[in-house]
Amino acid sequence: MEESRSANNGGVFRFMKSVVFFFEAHQPMRIRPYRMADIGTNHDYFWESKNREIGQRVSEKCYIPATQVLIDNGIKASLSISGILLDQLVAINSGSLDVFKEYFRSGLGEPVAETYYHSLSSIWNKREFFYQVNKHRETISRFFGRTPQTFRNTELIYNDDVSKLAKELDFKNIITEGTDKIIAYNTPNVKYSSVSGLNLLLRNYKLSDDVSFRFSNHTWNEFPLYADKFSDWVARSPGDVVNLFMDYETFGEHQWKETGIFEFLKALPKELEKRGISIKTIDEFCNENPKGNVLSLPDYVSWADVGRNLNAWLGNDMQREAFDLLKSLENNTNPETWRRLQVSDLIYYMSVSRFSDQEVHDYFNPYGSPYYAFMNYMSVLEDFRRTYSSK
């Protein structure tokens, strides 16, 4: 493999190292506090005011200014905007859609496909999964005028089966997490092939988390993080590519603008360039590099929690009971609502994982506790069952 690589790609180009940015832009439609007494009488499940408030805030603090920084500084990135977020941005009319459009039109941004509803459908229902991915791909093409070539599953959930599904849907590239177990034998810093023959990139979690989690952590011994220091780390990280995959909300929402995150982002291209490193999209990097070694990943991985598996969603009995009930309602007369209820966040809020993960869960949890999230969701599903399902 090494040999064919050099043969195909001799010269200076081959040795130039890249940074590949992938950002996930997503906001769930949260369900509102829904009481048992609402069952049978109230079919309005979604927390309109809260969703609007968060959508507006994130647009103003992150989507608009961060995308403007990318445009102004010529920063390339692959960007996945979930369908459920697109729906909300259209409703809010906050101006972020226009900035996204401009970014994709400029050629700097690569639109990435996922399940429209940011769901767990890949792990249980192929037909449903295909429907949701196709709907997302078509919607993205219609909105932004470009058809995604790269697929990324919800929260980078991946195994060999997911790669086969993506192959059936004619995607060229796919990405996932470089978990400790994977990178013990395979550097995340080169391109691989999935068992289904797609280009496969692995997230460099150490360097990604330095930005997304640790950037403003005063107790971190590397605080404060500047673009020059970070670029040194990238330069020292051996391999062809450093894959920096993270929530788009890192910029301005998780890390507020007061932390200097935007200045960091602005300064990064020049600092990387000084060290001979260029920023590329997933598709661009994959096109320029020869086919990689086949990497088989039979077990599920994801980028969530310390476990980097499915436990953030299906780790406890409440989550499994809720997920089973959701699945059982497939035959219904209101598929759009059923699909919106599939958004993985609603089950993620029920996670009771321990230690540092709990803080992450609490940060995102609009209900204050996994138990209230469970009760809320089950009541909504119960109403849905009675109202729209033959079951």
Partner 1 sequence: MFTGFGDWAGMKIAVIGWELPPAFSGGLGVHTLNLFSEIADYIDIDLYVPSFKGLKGIYKFNVIPVPIEHGIAGNPYEITSFPDFYESVLSYNEQVVKAFDPKDVKIIHCHDWITYLSGLQLSKKYHIPLVVTVHSTEFDRSAYFNPQRRIIDIEKMGVIGADRVIAVSNYTKSIVVREYACDPDKIRVIYNGVNKDYYISGEKDYELKNRVLYFGRLTSQKGGKFFMETASKVLKVNKDIEFTVAGSGEQSSEMKWMAKEFGITDRIKFEGFVSFRESAKYYRDSDIFVLPAVSEPFGMTVLESLISGTPVIISNTTGVGEALRNVLKADYWDTDLFSEYILYVVRYKSLRGTLGSLGQIEASRFTWRRAAVQTMGVYLGL
Which H or E run contains 232? Answer: helix 227-236
Q: How far is the CB of 299 from partner 1 (least distance, A)?
A: 25
Q: From CA 372, how far away is CA 384, in angstroms rounded?
A: 18
| Amino acid sitting at position 130 | F
Q: How far is the CB of 195 from partner 1 (least distance, A)?
A: 35
Binding segment toward partner 1, per CB under 8 A, in 57-65, 121-129, 229-237, 316-324:
316-324
Please tell me the total number of residues recorded for the chain in this structure. Answer: 391
Q: How far is the CB of 361 from partner 1 (least distance, A)?
A: 11
Query: Given the complex with partner 1, which of 364 and 371 has the nearer CB atom?
Result: 371
Contact pattern from residue 141 through residue 170 relative to partner 1, giving x for each residue in contact according to CB under 8 A and a dash for the rest: ------------------------------
Q: From CA 244, how far away is CA 19, in angstroms rounded?
A: 7
Q: From CA 248, how far away is CA 79, in angstroms rounded?
A: 8
Query: Given the complex with partner 1, which of 174 and 378 has the nearer CB atom?
Result: 378
Of 378, 380, 381, 383, which lies in the binding site for partner 1, with binding defined by CB under 8 A? 378
Of 50, 320, 327, 385, which lies in the binding site for partner 1, with binding defined by CB under 8 A? 320
Q: How far is the CB of 386 from partner 1 (least distance, A)?
A: 15
Q: How far is the CB of 35 from partner 1 (least distance, A)?
A: 7
- In this structure, is the dihedral angle defined by the CA atoms of residues 68, 69, 73 and 79, taken in order, positive or negative? negative
Which H or E run contains 385? Answer: helix 370-388
Q: From CA 114, how far away is CA 127, in angstroms rounded?
A: 15
Does 139 bind partner 1 (CB under 8 A)? Our answer is: no
Does 329 bind partner 1 (CB under 8 A)? Our answer is: no
Does 321 bind partner 1 (CB under 8 A)? Our answer is: yes
3-state DSSP: the chain helix, strand, coil percent, rounded to 5?
Answer: 50, 15, 35
- 284 annotated active-site: no
Q: Which of 272, 269, 288 is nearest to 75 (CA)?
A: 269
Q: Residue 277, exposed/middle/buried by CB under 10 A (0-12, 13-18, 19+)? A: buried
Query: Given the complex with partner 1, which of 180 and 362 has the nearer CB atom?
Result: 362
- What's the half-sphere exposure (Cβ side, CA atoms, 13 Å) at 327? 16
Binding segment toward partner 1, per CB under 8 A, in 57-65, 176-184, 279-287, 367-375:
367-375
Of 57, 307, 352, 385, which lies in the binding site for partner 1, with binding defined by CB under 8 A? 352
Does 374 bind partner 1 (CB under 8 A)? Our answer is: yes
Of 9, 35, 276, 391, which lies in the binding site for partner 1, with binding defined by CB under 8 A? 35
Contact 111, 144 (CB under 8 A): yes
Binding segment toward partner 1, per CB under 8 A, in 22-30, 33-41, 86-94, 213-221:
33-41
Query: Given the complex with partner 1, which of 301 and 350 has the nearer CB atom?
Result: 350
Does 375 bind partner 1 (CB under 8 A)? Our answer is: yes
Out of 155, 249, 253, 271, pick the active-site residue.
Answer: 155
Query: Given the complex with partner 1, which of 104 and 377 has the nearer CB atom?
Result: 377
Contact pattern from residue 272 through residue 311 relative to partner 1, giving x for each residue in contact according to CB under 8 A and a dash for the rest: ----------------------------------------
Q: From CA 362, how far away is CA 352, in angstroms rounded?
A: 10
**Torsion angle of C-alpha atoms 93, 99, 101, 105, degrees rounded to 10:** 170
- Which residue matches tokens 């929530």? 247
Restricting to residues 48-67, name those near partner 1 by CB under 8 A.
none
Binding segment toward partner 1, per CB under 8 A, in 124-132, 167-175, 336-344, 368-376:
368-376
Angle at 177 (CA atoms; ends 154, 1), nearest 5 degrees: 125
Which H or E run contains 46? Answer: none
Strand 109-111 to 77-81 pairing = parallel
The footprint of partner 1 (CB under 8 A) covers 35-37, 316-318, 320-321, 352, 358, 369-372, 374-375, 378
Which residues are annotated as catalytic? 155
